[in-house]
Amino acid sequence: MINTGLSIVDFLDVKFDLANGTFMPYRKPNDLPVYIHNHSNHPPAIKKQLPLMISKRVSELSSNEQVFNEARPIYEKALKDSGFNESLTYTGPRVERNNQQRDASNSRKRKIIWYNPPFSKNVKTNIGQKFLGLVDKHFPRGSKLHKKFNRNTIKISYSSMRNVASIISSHNKKILSPNTPSRTCNCPRGNRDNCPLDNRCLTENIVYKARISNNADEDIKSYVGMTEPIFKKRFYNHTRDANNVGYRNTTELSKYIWSLKDGSKIPNVTYEVLHQVHGKPSIHFCRLCTTEKLVIIENLNDNTFLNKRSEFISKCRHINKFLIDPPKDKNG
């Protein structure tokens, strides 16, 4: 909102007086600030820093201490209504660092692993202290991994839990919304008994297990795999690998199936779902790949598993489609 006659410009939460060259905090009429209560179920560090953060913000929006003092009462009243007794103090205008200072302070970028447990006052155990104690215990000085895992590279920051109103609203929405289950199988109606995954062939983001037997002996092997699209697409790929000799070395499963065929044995493969994973992969973490690798690691000592040790150090193949491709040169 601009009033050129008075040379006053209102922009978001700051008002500029162009005639006097000053600026001050701005709020819409009847818009009163509201803060979390001092007795709310939030981490103590957040409640302790709240008055300081408000003082800093109001100071940054004030061109001088006189303007700050004029704007202070409404914020102090909101704090008092929320159970805080602290008074706001003027911290001075915002100081911008020059490029040289910024480059010097950001010259070293440390990779930080954050642990964010939910906070609740009903939990008496000091979760943060226990967690950092485990870091000190299992990665002490002199350990090969101490450089990667220590109190400088692993930090803890509590996350706030949802309030009761949000929990009730979410529960009611789940109960009252129409329950329309999605289709899980598209096999022909007369052939549903032969579905490769027990009428769940359209399931996405799963870690599955293949059980391979044969007609000549009781030797049974197992193979763990994953698929982000529907399982039936992955099943068609396994079928192609088992029937086309040109794809015999595609996976450990196809290698074993062709070794049975080379010995004049007829393989029989059945599938089952081990885990279904929710959430898209990110740059640093993929739940689907991590779950598959966890299952492989748990069964490394099982001689009936076909998966190799090298599979749990492979790179995630799902994140590439979420990355932005660099622009291509029109001439090349």
What strands lie across the sheet with 221-227, from one edge to the other? 221-227, 206-214, 267-276
Residue of 229, 225, 227, 192 whose CA lies nearest to 209: 225
Q: Is there a single domain that holds both residue 245 and residue 290?
A: yes
Q: Measured between alpha carbons, how far is 202 from 212 in angstroms, rounded to an integer?
A: 22
Helix (H, G, I), strand (E, B) or coil at 100: helix
Q: Is there a single domain that holds both residue 262 and residue 154?
A: no
Q: Is there a single domain that holds both residue 300 and residue 213?
A: yes
CB atoms within 10 A of CB 216: 11
Q: What are phi and psi of 291, to 5 degrees?
A: -65, -40
Residue of 319, 317, 314, 254 whose CA lies nearest to 281: 319
CB proximity list for 72: less than 8 A, separation 6 or greater: 58, 88
Q: Is there a single domain that holds both residue 153 and residue 226?
A: no
Q: Please tell me the total count of domains within the chain.
A: 3
Nearest-5° Cα angle at 41, 40 to 42: 95
For 38-80, what is each residue's pLDDT tens digit? 998 888 888 999 999 999 999 999 999 999 999 999 999 999 9
Looking at residue 320, its pLDDT comes to 75
Residue 134 lies in a domain: yes
Q: Is there a single domain that holds both residue 196 and residue 313?
A: yes
Q: Is there a single domain that holds both residue 253 and residue 213?
A: yes
What is the percent of the chain where pLDDT is above 70? 87
Helix (H, G, I), strand (E, B) or coil at 50: helix
Range of the domain at 218: 189-322
Residue 170 lies in a domain: no
Q: Is there a single domain that holds both residue 234 and residue 277?
A: yes
Q: Is there a single domain that holds both residue 248 and residue 290?
A: yes
Q: What CATH number does the domain containing 239 carry?
A: 3.40.1440
Helix (H, G, I), strand (E, B) or coil at 309: helix
Residue 197 lies in a domain: yes
Query: In the predicted model, what is the mean pLDDT of the chain?
Result: 85
Side chain identity at 281, as an amino acid letter? P
Residue 95 lies in a domain: no
Residue 96 lies in a domain: no
For 69-114, what is each residue's pLDDT tens digit? 999 999 999 999 999 999 999 988 776 656 555 555 556 677 899 9
- The alpha-carbon radius of gyration of the chain (Å, integer) is 31
Please state the pTM of the whole predicted model. Answer: 0.47
CA distances from residue 292 to 103, 170, 227, 270, 280 in whole angstroms, order as listed: 41, 31, 10, 18, 15
* End-of-domain residue from the set 81, 100, 122: 81
Q: Is there a single domain that holds both residue 318 and residue 195?
A: yes
Residue 194 lies in a domain: yes
pLDDT at 243 over 90: yes
Local confidence band at 135 (pLDDT 50, 70, 90 cut-offs): very high
Q: Measured between alpha carbons, how far is 258 from 252 in angstroms, rounded to an integer?
A: 10
CA torsion through residues 172, 173, 178, 183, sign = negative
Q: Is there a single domain that holds both residue 316 and residue 227?
A: yes
